[in-house]
């Protein structure tokens, strides 16, 4: 009698994580972040992955059902531009693909960080993303707050570009709860990106996580796998409880970190990035993991212990 073959990481696709609405598109809850394609460490630090390999990883992500790509014009190194890689690998873009970008930080052509954008600079940032991606509009643009106390003027400038048809949906990034309320007084917010992951705490982020869930806003954490490694890559320091849960599921601690993140609410999306095709497969497969209530309780204790 013919039997369905067992699922393996290589056969699991992004739909295993489930889906949710993000603006007017439905995306799978496991997406893909492009920052790591420009180097082994953030931006111009480290050695970029081979260009052909990076393009293959992007195409493989689409083959695995990923339909949410997170990128930015300021993701580049001396040899690689994330947006150019996305364009080369995926254009013409699938109809169901949502490409999210970020604006606010500024780097010159030599890669040096400059003064954060003023409100009047943001049109140029949006147009640069449009040019690099080869699009006539951007699906979703996040305003990345750069330590300013108020985001009203900057977000208002993006709202005007949305009215002009250059942007479909708006989000905010690296913010406090008060900034979400401030932005919502100007235009609808469909997504909030903040650093969040097992064992990492930043002021106001867990309040934002709850608020987004209550208001139907997507919460998209970055560095969900990295732990304390942050922008420099995934940590190798894992609590023994985390290792035990990973062992029980015959998977990696990184996969359990992703599964725990997704378990924080149906409104939570993940955008793990990698230039390694094997790690891509593992990240997508993490969307199929289902942690027990006991395991979640144990991991929640690990999370609280890190405060």
Which residues carry out catalysis? 75
End-to-end Cα separation, the chain, in angstroms: 54
Question: Are 77 and 83 spatial neighbours (Cβ–Cβ below 8 Å)?
Answer: no
Tell me the longest C-alpha to C-alpha distance in the chain.
67
Please give the C-alpha separations between residue 242 and each of 38, 43, 143, 269, in angstroms, as whole numbers.
30, 30, 34, 21
Evaluate whether 260 touches 291 at the Cβ level (below 8 Å).
Answer: yes
Tokens, residue 262: 């997704």
Helix %, strand %, coil % of the chain (to 5): 40, 15, 40
Between CA 169 and CA 139 the distance in angstroms is 6
Distance CA 172, CA 151 (A): 9
Q: Distance between CA 102 and CA 191 in Å, rounded?
A: 12
Contact 223, 200 (CB under 8 A): yes
Residues facing 144 on adjacent strands? 173
Q: Count the Cβ atoms, other than its own, within 10 Å of residue 112.
A: 9
- 277-285 helix and 253-262 helix, angle to the nearest 10 degrees: 40
């Amino acid at each position: 009698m013919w039997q369905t073959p067992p699922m393996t990481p290589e056969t699991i696709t992004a739909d295993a994580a489930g889906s949710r609405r993000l603006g007017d598109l439905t995306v799978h809850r496991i997406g893909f972040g492009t920052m790591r394609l420009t180097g082994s460490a953030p931006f111009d630090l480290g050695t970029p992955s081979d260009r052909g390999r990076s393009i293959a990883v992007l195409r493989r992500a689409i083959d695995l059902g990923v339909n949410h790509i997170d990128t930015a014009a300021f993701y580049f190194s001396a040899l690689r531009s994330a947006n150019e890689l996305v364009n080369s690998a995926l254009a013409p873009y699938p109809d169901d693909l949502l490409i999210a970008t970020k604006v606010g930080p500024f780097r010159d052509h030599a890669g040096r960080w400059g003064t954060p954008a003023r409100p009047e600079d943001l049109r140029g940032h949006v147009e640069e993303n449009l040019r690099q991606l080869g699009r006539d509009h951007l699906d979703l643009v996040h305003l990345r707050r750069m330590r300013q106390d108020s985001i009203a003027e900057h977000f208002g400038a993006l709202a005007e570009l949305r009215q002009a048809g250059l942007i479909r949906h708006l989000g905010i990034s690296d913010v406090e709860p008060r900034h979400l309320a401030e932005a919502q007084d100007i235009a609808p917010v469909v997504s909030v990106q903040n650093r969040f992951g097992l064992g990492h705490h930043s002021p106001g982020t867990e309040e934002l996580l709850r608020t987004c869930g209550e208001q139907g806003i997507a919460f998209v954490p970055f560095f969900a796998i990295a732990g304390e490694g942050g922008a420099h890559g995934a940590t190798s320091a894992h609590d023994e409880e985390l290792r035990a849960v990973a062992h029980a599921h015959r998977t990696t601690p990184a996969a359990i970190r992703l599964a725990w993140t997704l378990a924080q609410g149906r409104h939570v999306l993940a955008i793990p990035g990698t230039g390694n095709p094997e790690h891509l497969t593992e990240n997508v497969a993490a969307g199929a993991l289902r942690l027990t209530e006991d395991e979640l309780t144990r991991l929640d204790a690990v999370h609280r212990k890190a405060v």
